[in-house]
């Protein structure tokens, strides 16, 4: 997709999806930096750096443990012939939690630690499942009657 910009256009700029990305990738890090600078002024720089490092280490460790538990649940579900949809969404949220926890910042750390709370993850997984099922309508499987096999239907190789 090619974006064109005309400086002489009199059309007003409408807020759209690209402004959301600008806010996410420019505004959010600036907010995080401002918060770290304020925290450093209040707590001192040594304590602020220690807090940032420790939240990353503790959060990474928690995400690692919960991730392995989720992988084991996925393997158990698949071994029993069940589709591990809930566990896969759970694993995705744990991955996101780990990523935002290793990112320096107080807001991202709060988001990451919240995503590591199992009851909150279940709520988010439930809402995401409902949203996905409404967004992508899947046809319901029709039940086929079981037919009896006779010896003419079986081919031995």
Token pair 């059309």 is found at 11
150 and 97 Cβ atoms separated by less than 8 Å: no
Q: Where does 80-140 have alpha helices with state H?
A: 85-101, 106-115, 118-135
The number of C-alpha atoms within 13 Å of 107 and in the hemisphere containing its C-beta is 11
Cβ contact 57:49 at 8 Å: no
Rounded distance between C-alpha atoms, residue 101 and residue 53, angstroms: 10
pLDDT digits over 100-144, tens only? 998 888 999 999 999 999 999 999 888 887 887 888 876 666 656
The band of 94, judged by pLDDT with boundaries at 50, 70 and 90, is very high
What pTM did the predictor assign? 0.69
**What are the pLDDT digits (tens) for 6-37?**
555 555 555 567 888 888 889 999 999 999 99
């Amino acid at each position: 997709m090619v974006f064109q910009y005309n400086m002489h256009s009199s059309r007003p700029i409408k807020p759209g999806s690209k402004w959301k990305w600008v806010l996410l990738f420019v505004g959010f890090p600036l907010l995080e930096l401002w918060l770290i600078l304020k925290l450093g002024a209040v707590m001192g720089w040594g304590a602020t750096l220690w807090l940032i490092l420790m939240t990353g280490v503790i959060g990474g460790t928690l995400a690692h443990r919960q991730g392995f538990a989720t992988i084991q649940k996925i393997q158990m579900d698949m071994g029993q012939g069940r589709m591990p949809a809930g566990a896969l969404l759970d694993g995705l949220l744990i991955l996101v939690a780990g990523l935002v926890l290793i990112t320096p910042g107080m807001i991202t750390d709060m988001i990451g630690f919240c995503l590591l709370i199992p009851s909150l993850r279940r709520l988010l997984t439930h809402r995401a499942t409902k949203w996905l099922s409404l967004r992508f309508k899947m046809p319901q499987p029709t039940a086929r009657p079981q037919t009896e096999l006779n010896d003419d239907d079986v081919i031995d190789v």
